[in-house]
Structure 1
């Protein structure tokens, strides 16, 4: 499947996960990145559409006409029209935009919120995968973030790739923890201090790492402090 056909399929069926699509994403980093962008953009559009409307707004925007000619705005149709316009405009951009440069602001979303949303969005795609990732592959993906692992990675790694992460990029890894699978993001977005969090049924840790950060997300009950210490011991600045 070529890249154009892959993008057409994902645009028409964003939730599709047939074997041909999965293979196209595994074989081509650009395809996987495009899928990330589609999920992220879809989530942002959905959030933007969630606007509270005052109960008396309809009365306030009645046309200033005689009572026999009063027309109320049909909000349902307008909402559908707006959604259709957004979808149409977004469709026109596919193939014209360099998706590697698409940025979604994280001004109103913390690192933990971005990470948890990302895990939820891709869980169905990533969960069945086991790529049996090697240390050499991990170091290759870490290179853009100026870090390397100095010894054997202490966990079995199921999945490894780069992804869009808010207005930056990240290394995206899934490995086996003590309670279940744990997702790791390494990004150049800095943070000031370590922070444990719980959100949307998941738990995790945000950890500063020089001018970068790593974020862990997984099941409640996982010892993220211990995992974080293990990772800090093997993650070294690239020479």
Structure 2
């Protein structure tokens, strides 16, 4: 596992400790320190955000606003103090992020939206597709890829259980379920562009977003599935149609 892949997986889940992660930590003091810093940052952010909100917060804000209007006097009130506290927490978190040098590992809102849409599809449609085996052929896959102006230049290297189109956020996507190395993997190929390769983990599943020009390849597999390896393999054989 290279350093970039290690950092992506640690930032996605600082507590993750599978065989590959443990091996990377043991063989590199730099990786070990990064993993410890990520855990410490998670603890500090959780502690900073654990601020009890007074039960009468709304009443106090309304009271101070009313008093301010009546007296036309500008003075600090509870709402301003709360805002200042929130800003301070955000500033401290920003400093900690800078110290860890996450660089391009920070997930943008657009990337997060793609990941959330993919995860919701997998969870919602699992009862429907988990028992299917349509034994899909490569020719059928390229036919479904046509609306996205891309195709596989070689035969699809995995057994495909399910293939169709689906609504995907504000766009559409190719929706495929195939056999990975550890379990079933769901693939989405959509006309929504993405900024950069991004890993994500949620609900016991691992995923990756791989930008491909104006389109995006998204994979979701069981936790422990090396979706980055699969994405790299597939990206090499997905080509724009002539």
How large is the Cα RMSD of the aligned pairs? 2.1
Correspondence 1:90-239 to 2 at 5 A: 110-239=113-242
Per-residue CA distance 1:183-237 (angstroms, 9 max, x = gap) = 0000000001001110122111000001000100011111111101110111110
| TM-score, length of structure 1 as denominator length | 0.55
Correspondence 1:14-163 to 2 at 5 A: 110-163=113-166
| TM-score, length of structure 2 as denominator length | 0.54
CA contact (8 A) 2:111 2:195 kept: no
SS of the aligned residue for 1:205 comes to strand
Per-residue CA distance 1:63-107 (angstroms, 9 max, x = gap) = xxxxxxxxxxxxxxxxxxxxxxxxxxxxxxxxxxxxxxxxxxx97
SS of the aligned residue for 2:175 comes to strand
State the partner residue of 2:80: none
Structure whose CA Rg is larger: 2
What CA distance in whole angstroms lies between the structure 2 residues aligned with 1:223 and 1:108? 19
Runs of 4+ in 1 over 2 A off after TM superposition: 106-109
Q: Which runs of 5+ in 2 are unaligned?
A: 1-54, 60-108
What CA distance in whole angstroms lies between the structure 2 residues aligned with 1:230 and 1:210? 17
- For this pair of structures, how many residues does the alignment match? 140
SS of the aligned residue for 1:130 comes to coil
By percentage of residues, which structure has more helix? 2
State the partner residue of 1:81: none
SS of the aligned residue for 1:110 comes to helix
What CA distance in whole angstroms lies between the structure 1 residues aligned with 2:138 and 2:208? 23
Q: Which runs of 5+ in 1 are unaligned?
A: 1-54, 60-105
What CA distance in whole angstroms lies between the structure 2 residues aligned with 1:132 and 1:107? 34
Per-residue deviation, 1:131: 0.2
SS of the aligned residue for 1:229 comes to helix
Per-residue deviation, 1:155: 0.2
What CA distance in whole angstroms lies between the structure 1 residues aligned with 2:149 and 2:111? 27
